C-alpha cells in the first residue's frame, strides 16, 4: 500500500512480525530490519474475493455467513473476517465449542491462521476475536460489558478519525466509555460511536448481510468419503430432497427455486441454481433437473464439473417456496415419470377430462428440463404487445407465469417476419400505387396480385417534439436530425400483401406518404406469408 | 402359420391387402386416433385414414422460397390438433384444446443456405388459426441441442404435438426420432430445408436420401384462393406426398381455412392432373368393386 513517504506494509505474516515489522510501517524501514523480506503488492479485490469464497464455504456451518468486507466496514486494515450466525445450528455440531474447534481445525488445514470467537452480538464477537489473548474463545452470554470493558477502543470497529479523537480526549478502553453519560458523546461525535457501542453491548440489533440469500428450507449432508462422480451427486441430492419433502409437505408448500451447494474438499463451493415453473415436491424431478444441469455444465466446459479432490458435503436449499395445496391423487394409473424415459401410459392421454392437471404438471416439468439444459432465456412464449408497428407488436418473454390471451386476428399477418425489413426495388404504375414487379435478394418477382394498402402510421407520439425551427420553416419532411430508427418509425407505411406468379406471398411496404412525407418512397420487404 | 394359411385361402385380392395392412400397421399410435385432414380424398389415401399420431412427419419445401409455405402447412396441421371439443362428458373440459405445442427452432438454422428467412411471428400464427398462447418456443444453439430438445419434448408426453426445424436429417436420426414419436404417440413435424441440388442416386435416390419418417411431404406454393372482392381469403399449398409408410404417394392442391381449421381441395384447378393421387384411388376402388 502506498502512502506518504513511499510504500508501506499492509499486512505481514507471523515470521515478519517476529522480526519486528509492523503494519503501516514504511517498506524501506522494513527492508532495513529484515533483509530476507519478500514483498507482494496489495490486491484488495483478490483479498475480498478470497474472503467471499471462504464465507461461502462456511455456509456449511450455517446459512447466514456474512463477510466483513473493506468497503462495508469502511476500514482499511483488519477488515478480514466473516460473521457466522450459529444460533440455530450449533447443536448440530455438538455445541458452540465443538463447532468452532472444528472450524479452526479445518481453517488450519487450509493453512489459515484464524482467530475465532463466539459471543452474543456480532460486535462483541468481532472485538473478542481480535483483542482476546486466546485465538479461540467462547464468551458466555451476558458477559459482553465485562469482556469489553478491558479492551482498547479499537475493538469498537470505529473510523480512524473517531478513534484518534477519542484517544486525544483520553479514552483508552471501552470500559471508560460505557459508564459515561451519552448526551455529550452524541453531541460531539457522529452517530457511529454510540451505535457501535450499542451494537456491541446488544442494546441495538445488528443485522448481518448474508453472502447468499438465506434459504427457506435447507438440508445438508456431510460425507465420510468425498464423492467425485455426477451420478453420486445426483443420488445424494435426491436424498436431500427426500428430507426436504417431509418439511415441505408439512407446511403445504412446494419449491419454486432450489440451490445445490457442493462443498469441495479444498474449500471452494460450487453452486447449482434450479428454477421451477410450478411448485414441486417431486424428488425424481429435482434429481433429473440437477442431472441436466451437470450435463449442461459438462457440455459447456468440455470437461466435467470442476471436482478437485471431490466434494465433502452437499447442501440443498429451497430458496423460494410457494403454497402448494394437497390435491387428490387421481385414480387412473399414474404415468411413468419423464426421468425413466419409458413410454407413458396411453390410457391417461386417451381419456378426455382425466389427467388435465397432470398434463399441466408434465408441461411444467418439460419446461423446467428445457430451461435447465438450454438456459432460462431460450424457452419462450409469444406475447402480444399493443403497438401498431408489426416488428414491435409482439414480444418473446421467457415462459414464466400465465400467457395472456391473443386478440382475434383482423388483418393478414405474415408467418415469418424478417429481422430487419429489407430494402427492395419496386416497379409500380403510379408512385403511390401497388407494386407490379419487385427485386429482392437477387431475384425478380412479377406480381400477380397485390392486396392493400393497409396504412400504419408511424408512432409520432413517441418521437421527441419538433423543434421551433422546423415548425417555423413549415418543413413538412422530417428533418435529418432524427436518428435512423426514429426516422423510420416516424414515416407512415403502406403495407401490401403481394403474391407473385409462382404463388409466393410477401409483405411489402412503402415508407412515407408520397408527396407529403417524402418525394421518393422507398420499398421494403418485411415478411413472408405461408 | 395361421396367418399364412389365411393368405393362401383368401379368395379376393382386396382381402389379402386388408390382411397385410392389418399385419403391417403396428399399434404404434399409442391409442391415439390418427389426425385426419378432414378431406375424404386425402384421408382415404393415407393408410390409417389420417396422419399417424405417433410418428415423424418430414416436411420439405419444394424450393427455398417455399419455406414459409411449408411451415404454414405445419402450423395448419397443428391448429387442427385438438381444436374440436371432445365428445362425451365435459369433465374439466375448459382445459381441453389448450394443450401446448412445442416449436423447436434452431437459432442457427433459421438460415437456409446462408440466408436468414425470418423469425416466427405470433400474429402470423394467430392469422393461420393457431393460438400463439399455446406455443412454447424453444431456441437451440446447435444441432445436438435441437435433437435433445425434440426427444425431451416427445418423452415428456406433455405437449399435443412437437414441431421443429432441422438443418439436415439422416437415416439414423430419423429412425431415432420416429421411434421416440412412436413410443410417445405424439406427432412430430420436422421442417427440413429444400435440397440445394437435384437428388442424386448416390445418396439414396430420393430428396435427401433415406429416412424412416412415417410420411414425407414436399410443399410447393400455389396461388391463394380469393374471395369475390379479390382479397386473399385462404392460402393454398401444393402438397406432394413423397413417401408414406404403408401408403402410396400422391399430389394435391389444398387450401386452408384458418377460421374453421379446415382443409379443402382447391376448386377450379388450372391443371386437372394435379389431383392425380386421389383420382387413381377412386378409379382403383371402382374397378375392384
How far does B203 lie from chain A, in Å, by closest CA?
Answer: 29
Residues of A whose CB is below 8 A from B126: 406-407, 409, 413
Q: A63-77, A336-350, A422-436, B64-78 — which is least confidently predicted?
A: A336-350
pTM (global) more than 0.90: no
pLDDT by residue (tens digit) across A337-359?
A: 433 333 333 333 333 334 456 77
Q: Residue B98 and residue B82: Cα distance in Å, rounded?
A: 8
**B181 or A24: whose pLDDT is higher?**
B181
Angle between helical axes of B143-156 and B171-184 (0-180°, round to 10): 20
- Asked if B55 reaches chain A (Cβ–Cβ under 8 Å), the answer is no
- Range of A480-484, A521-525, B49-53 with top mean pLDDT: A521-525
- A162 pLDDT more than 60: yes
- Categorize the per-residue pLDDT at A79 as very low, low, confident or very high, splitting at 50, 70 and 90: low
- Residues B214, B203: contact at Cβ < 8 Å? no
- The closest CB to that of B140, out of A369, A374, A497, belongs to A374
- Asked if A380 reaches chain B (Cβ–Cβ under 8 Å), the answer is yes
Q: What is the pLDDT of residue A468?
A: 55
Work out the mean pLDDT of chain A and round it to a whole number: 79
Mean pLDDT value of segment A69-98: 71
Q: What is the pLDDT of residue A447?
A: 92
Mean pLDDT value of segment A360-389: 86
Determine how many CB atoms are found less than 10 A away from the CB of residue A331. Answer: 7
- B28 pLDDT more than 80: no
Q: Residue A260 and residue A275: Cα distance in Å, rounded?
A: 11
How far does B143 lie from chain A, in Å, by closest CA?
Answer: 13
- Asked if B64 reaches chain A (Cβ–Cβ under 8 Å), the answer is no
Q: Residue B189 and residue B59: Cα distance in Å, rounded?
A: 7
A365-378 burial, b if ≥16 CB within 10 A, otherwise e?
Answer: bbbbbbbbbbebeb
Residues of B whose CB is below 8 A from A422: none
- Asked if A528 reaches chain B (Cβ–Cβ under 8 Å), the answer is yes
**B241 or A485: whose pLDDT is higher?**
B241
- Asked if B117 reaches chain A (Cβ–Cβ under 8 Å), the answer is yes
pLDDT by residue (tens digit) across B187-215?
A: 999 998 876 655 444 444 444 457 888 89
Q: Residue B153 and residue A148: Cα distance in Å, rounded?
A: 64
- Categorize the per-residue pLDDT at B241 as very low, low, confident or very high, splitting at 50, 70 and 90: very high
**B154 or A349: whose pLDDT is higher?**
B154
Q: What is the pLDDT of residue A484?
A: 52
- Asked if B176 reaches chain A (Cβ–Cβ under 8 Å), the answer is no
- The closest CB to that of A415, out of B87, B120, B135, belongs to B120
| Complex confidence, ipTM | 0.79
Residue B216 has, within 13 A of its CA and on its CB side, a CA count of 19
Closest among A85, A149, A95 to A120, alpha carbons compared: A85
pLDDT by residue (tens digit) across A175-222?
A: 888 888 888 888 888 787 888 888 888 888 888 878 877 788 888 888
Q: What is the pLDDT of residue A216?
A: 82
- Asked if B189 reaches chain A (Cβ–Cβ under 8 Å), the answer is no
- Asked if A347 reaches chain B (Cβ–Cβ under 8 Å), the answer is yes
Across the interface, whether the CB atoms of B91 and A403 are under 8 A apart is answered: no
Residues of A whose CB is below 8 A from B221: 502-505
- B261 pLDDT more than 90: no
How far does B278 lie from chain A, in Å, by closest CA?
Answer: 23
Q: A406-410, A480-484, A491-495, B264-268 — which is least confidently predicted?
A: A480-484
- A269 pLDDT more than 70: yes
- The closest CB to that of A497, out of B90, B184, B232, belongs to B232
Contacts of B178 (CB under 8 A, 6+ apart): B55, B56, B212, B213, B214
- A71 pLDDT more than 60: no
Q: What is the pLDDT of residue A342?
A: 37
Q: What is the pLDDT of residue A15?
A: 80
Under DSSP, the state recorded for A312 is E
Q: Cα A379–A383–A385 angle (5° rounding)? A: 145
- A152 pLDDT more than 90: no
A281-301 burial, b if ≥16 CB within 10 A, otherwise e?
Answer: bbbebbbbbbbbbbbbbeeee
- Residues B153, B104: contact at Cβ < 8 Å? yes
Number of A to B CB contacts under 8 A, please give it: 222
Determine the residue of chain B that is closest to A529 in CA distance.
B68
- Asked if B95 reaches chain A (Cβ–Cβ under 8 Å), the answer is yes
- Categorize the per-residue pLDDT at B118 as very low, low, confident or very high, splitting at 50, 70 and 90: confident
- Residues B103, B164: contact at Cβ < 8 Å? yes
Amino acid at each position: 500500500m502506498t502512502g506518504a513517504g513511499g510504500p508501506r506494509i499492509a499486512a505481514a505474516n507471523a515470521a515478519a512480525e517476529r522480526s519486528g515489522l509492523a503494519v503501516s510501517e514504511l517498506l524501506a524501514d522494513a527492508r532495513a530490519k529484515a533483509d530476507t523480506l519478500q514483498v507482494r503488492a496489495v490486491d484488495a479485490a483478490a483479498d475480498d474475493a478470497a474472503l467471499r469464497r471462504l464465507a461461502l464455504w462456511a455456509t456449511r456451518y450455517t446459512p447466514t455467513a456474512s463477510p466483513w468486507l473493506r468497503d462495508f466496514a469502511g476500514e482499511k486494515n483488519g477488515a478480514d473476517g466473516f460473521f457466522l450466525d450459529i444460533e440455530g445450528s450449533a447443536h448440530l455440531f455438538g455445541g458452540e465449542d465443538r463447532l468452532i474447534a472444528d472450524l479452526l481445525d479445518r481453517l488450519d488445514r487450509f493453512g489459515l491462521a484464524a482467530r475465532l470467537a463466539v459471543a452474543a452480538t456480532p460486535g462483541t464477537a468481532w472485538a473478542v476475536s481480535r483483542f482476546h489473548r486466546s485465538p479461540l474463545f467462547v464468551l458466555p452470554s451476558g458477559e459482553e460489558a465485562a469482556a469489553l470493558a478491558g479492551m482498547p477502543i479499537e475493538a469498537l470497529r470505529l473510523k480512524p478519525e473517531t478513534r484518534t479523537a477519542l484517544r486525544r480526549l483520553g479514552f483508552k478502553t471501552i470500559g471508560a466509555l460505557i459508564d459515561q453519560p451519552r448526551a455529550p458523546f452524541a453531541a460531539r461525535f457522529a452517530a457511529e460511536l454510540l451505535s457501535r457501542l450499542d451494537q456491541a453491548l446488544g442494546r441495538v440489533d445488528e443485522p448481518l448481510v448474508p453472502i447468499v440469500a438465506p434459504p427457506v428450507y435447507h438440508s445438508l449432508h456431510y460425507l465420510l468419503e468425498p464423492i467425485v462422480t455426477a451420478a453420486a451427486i445426483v443420488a445424494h441430492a435426491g436424498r436431500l430432497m427426500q428430507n426436504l419433502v417431509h418439511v415441505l409437505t408439512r407446511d403445504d408448500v412446494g419449491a419454486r427455486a432450489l440451490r445445490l451447494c457442493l462443498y469441495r474438499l479444498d474449500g471452494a463451493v460450487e453452486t447449482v441454481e434450479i428454477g421451477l415453473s410450478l411448485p414441486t415436491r417431486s424428488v425424481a424431478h429435482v434429481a433429473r433437473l440437477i442431472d441436466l444441469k451437470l450435463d449442461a455444465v459438462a457440455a459447456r466446459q468440455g470437461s466435467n464439473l470442476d471436482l478437485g479432490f471431490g466434494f465433502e458435503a452437499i447442501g440443498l436449499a429451497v430458496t423460494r417456496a410457494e403454497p402448494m395445496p394437497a390435491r387428490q391423487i387421481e385414480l387412473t394409473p399414474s404415468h411413468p415419470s419423464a426421468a425413466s424415459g419409458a413410454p407413458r401410459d396411453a390410457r391417461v392421454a386417451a381419456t378426455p377430462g382425466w389427467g388435465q392437471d397432470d398434463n399441466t404438471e408434465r408441461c411444467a416439468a418439460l419446461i423446467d428440463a428445457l430451461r435447465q439444459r438450454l438456459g432460462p432465456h431460450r424457452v419462450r412464449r409469444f406475447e402480444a404487445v399493443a403497438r401498431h408497428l408489426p416488428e414491435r407488436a409482439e414480444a418473446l418473454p421467457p415462459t414464466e407465469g400465465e400467457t395472456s390471451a391473443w386478440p382475434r386476428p383482423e388483418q393478414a399477418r405474415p408467418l415469418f417476419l424478417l429481422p430487419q425489413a429489407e430494402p427492395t426495388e419496386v416497379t409500380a404504375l403510379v408512385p403511390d400505387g401497388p407494386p407490379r414487379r419487385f427485386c429482392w435478394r437477387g431475384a425478380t418477382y412479377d406480381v400477380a396480385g397485390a392486396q392493400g394498402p393497409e396504412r400504419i402510421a408511424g408512432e409520432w407520439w413517441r418521437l421527441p417534439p419538433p423543434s421551433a425551427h422546423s415548425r417555423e420553416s413549415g418543413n413538412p419532411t422530417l428533418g435529418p436530425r432524427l436518428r435512423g430508427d426514429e426516422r423510420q418509425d416516424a414515416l407512415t407505411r403502406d403495407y401490401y400483401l403481394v403474391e407473385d406468379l409462382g404463388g409466393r406471398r410477401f409483405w411489402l411496404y412503402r415508407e412515407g406518404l408520397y408527396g407529403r412525407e417524402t418525394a421518393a418512397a422507398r420499398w421494403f420487404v418485411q415478411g413472408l406469408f405461408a | 402359420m395361421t396367418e399364412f394359411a389365411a393368405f393362401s385361402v383368401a379368395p379376393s385380392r382386396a382381402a389379402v391387402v386388408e390382411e397385410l395392412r392389418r399385419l403391417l400397421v403396428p399399434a404404434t399410435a399409442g391409442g391415439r386416433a390418427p389426425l385426419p385432414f378432414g378431406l375424404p380424398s386425402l384421408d382415404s389415401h393415407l393408410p390409417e385414414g389420417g396422419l399417424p399420431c405417433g410418428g415423424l412427419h418430414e416436411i420439405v419445401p419444394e424450393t427455398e422460397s417455399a419455406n414459409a409455405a411449408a411451415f404454414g402447412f405445419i402450423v395448419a396441421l397443428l391448429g387442427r390438433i385438438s381444436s374440436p371439443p371432445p365428445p362425451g362428458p365435459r369433465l374439466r373440459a375448459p382445459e381441453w384444446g389448450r394443450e401446448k405445442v412445442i416449436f423447436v427452432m434452431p437459432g442457427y438454422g433459421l438460415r437456409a443456405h446462408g440466408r436468414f428467412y425470418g423469425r416466427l411471428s405470433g400474429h402470423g400464427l394467430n392469422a393461420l388459426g393457431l393460438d400463439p398462447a399455446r406455443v412454447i418456443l424453444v431456441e437451440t444453439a446447435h444441432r445436438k441441442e435441437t435433437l435433445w430438445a425434440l426427444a425431451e419434448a416427445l418423452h415428456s408426453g406433455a405437449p399435443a404435438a412437437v414441431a421443429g426445424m432441422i438443418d439436415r436429417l439422416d437415416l439414423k436420426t430419423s429412425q431415432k426420432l420416429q421411434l421416440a414419436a412412436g413410443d410417445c404417440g405424439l406427432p412430430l413435424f420436422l421442417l427440413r430445408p429444400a435440397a440445394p441440388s437435384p437428388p442424386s442416386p448416390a445418396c439414396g435416390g430420393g430428396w435427401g436420401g433415406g429416412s424412416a419418417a412415417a410420411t414425407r411431404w414436399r410443399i410447393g406454393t400455389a396461388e391463394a384462393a380469393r374471395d369475390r372482392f379479390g382479397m386473399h381469403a385462404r392460402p393454398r399449398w401444393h402438397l406432394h406426398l413423397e413417401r408414406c409408410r404403408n401408403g402410396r404417394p400422391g399430389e394435391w392442391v389444398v387450401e386452408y381455412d384458418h377460421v374453421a381449421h379446415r382443409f379443402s381441395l382447391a376448386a377450379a384447378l388450372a391443371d386437372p392432373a394435379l389431383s392425380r393421387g386421389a383420382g387413381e384411388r377412386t378409379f382403383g376402388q371402382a374397378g375392384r368393386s
